[in-house]
Structure 1
């Protein structure tokens, strides 16, 4: 029997400032633990534990961990399957990337198990596709920092381009989690389809200023 491999997938916060679906940053904690070992074929979820685990599907076709892992295995040309155990440390629907951590953990687990053959951008995109299965559309602003670390910027979705910059060492983040559960797919439904040009111009200025401030370690800006 093959050995278990353990991946820690951290919480993230995204939609930072004006960077909707573009900016994301990884947090030190909490995090999910995704464990996997090789099997002959297919995907099997043998265990799900942790906060909110009772509402997480064990069907591999409906779980973002196994969907992401399958995407990576397929893209890497792997000829094996994975048995997976999931320990949720990030409460689902809490606003700090719970579904993103699951998808990212599954994708990175498969990446490690295939000898890290793929470019990291491909791994991130596989995770984004998997999260999109449950959240109503592909968006990589949570899975990117979860996999790459630091402050990530999605430059383009077609073709997919993402890069990470190291945030200032003294940058601290306080996450407040109200006792309210809102699914990502539901929250995205309330977004307006159109925005005013003046609003767009203002927020582009804010987004670029934020990137410049992080790059220059200028917290006053």
Structure 2
């Protein structure tokens, strides 16, 4: 167990002097990190929450040879780089080791992709967070979960050109998260109403994150900004007040969704299906193409995903569905 009586400077000094072994004796670890729904409709780049399914796994081993190596990647159909400088997991781990002054450490990484790439569910985020959580455990929990967020943002910057935190912060911390500020970084955990479920459908169409970001307007009308501010405040208030109706009224986006939704076939029909089947609110997960609905219980969430998949099937689009309660714990050690 980490010594919580030591401050970070003391821990780093111990780590620097302990060049032959990890602080807690572990040399191999396997970690799962969850998928996330970013934006939550109205909170572009500032709101997100974690789900239990899907997610990614990282197996990490300490070696005697300094440096970070990607040993293998499964489940990616050869799409992800094995080059440690270009892979989000290894690059973030390297930043972490540099920060704690342990560049003497050797790390081998096996990445197991358990979720679709480019789905809008934080695929790169889940991988990166699993890697950072793993190395932090192996090095004796030198950093708190919140202190890992900036390193995970480095991975997002590598993946899509911008180091946003609305995926990585909830993946690390679990639950709903508000990024109040990026400079300086200020991440706040929000409450989750009891029994809330997410109904997620991933239409198997290609919507690259970089392309989706480039579609966003650089300037907005003041009246639209005011509407958006009110919705973000209403959503956060609804979470604290356990007010599902307020949450639903606030899940409206006048800035980003109107443009991004045209990239998702059947989007408006899926919104209608979700709301007619009891959804609290509905929108795009991250940059899409996945969509999500919040529901008051699991039965409602399953009814929503079933009806939406039936609609997609009618228009000849394959899809995957995930029904999950909000993930409260973030990443976990599974071996």
Q: TM-score range by the shorter chain?
A: over 0.9
Structure 2 partner of 1:95? 120
Counterpart check, 1:26 vs 2:50: yes
Q: Of residues 26, 44, 47 in structure 1, which corresponds to 2:69?
A: 44
Is the 2:27–2:138 Cα contact (8 Å) retained in structure 1?
no
Q: How does 1:118-157 map to 2 (within 5 A)?
A: 118-157=143-182
Q: Please give the secondary structure, in 2, of the residue aligned with 1:129.
A: helix
Offset at residue 146 of structure 1 (A)? 0.6
Structure 2 partner of 1:194? 219
Is the 1:92–1:181 Cα contact (8 Å) retained in structure 2?
no
The count of aligned residue pairs is 220
Structure 2 partner of 1:17? 41
Offset at residue 209 of structure 1 (A)? 0.5
User: In 2, Cα distance between the equivalents of 1:135 and 1:186?
Assistant: 9
Is the 1:68–1:127 Cα contact (8 Å) retained in structure 2?
yes
Q: Please give the secondary structure, in 2, of the residue aligned with 1:212.
A: helix
CA RMSD of aligned residues (A): 1.4
Residue range with higher mean Cα deviation, 109-118 or 131-140: 109-118
Structure 2 partner of 1:73? 97
User: In 1, Cα distance between the equivalents of 2:180 and 2:100?
Assistant: 24
Deviation per residue, 1:147-172 (Å, 9 max, x gap): 10000110111111112123112111
Deviation per residue, 1:78-100 (Å, 9 max, x gap): 23121000000111001111011
Residue range with higher mean Cα deviation, 161-170 or 53-62: 161-170
Q: Which runs of 5+ in 1 are unaligned?
A: none
Structure 2 partner of 1:159? 184
User: In 1, Cα distance between the equivalents of 2:89 and 2:197?
Assistant: 29
Q: Of residues 137, 142, 145 in structure 2, which corresponds to 1:117?
A: 142
Q: Which runs of 5+ in 2 are unaligned?
A: 1-20, 247-335
Residue range with higher mean Cα deviation, 108-117 or 137-146: 108-117
Q: Please give the secondary structure, in 1, of the residue aligned with 2:153.
A: helix
Residue range with higher mean Cα deviation, 39-48 or 115-124: 115-124
**TM-score in terms of structure 2 length:** 0.63
Offset at residue 176 of structure 1 (A)? 0.8
Radius of gyration: which is bigger? Answer: 2
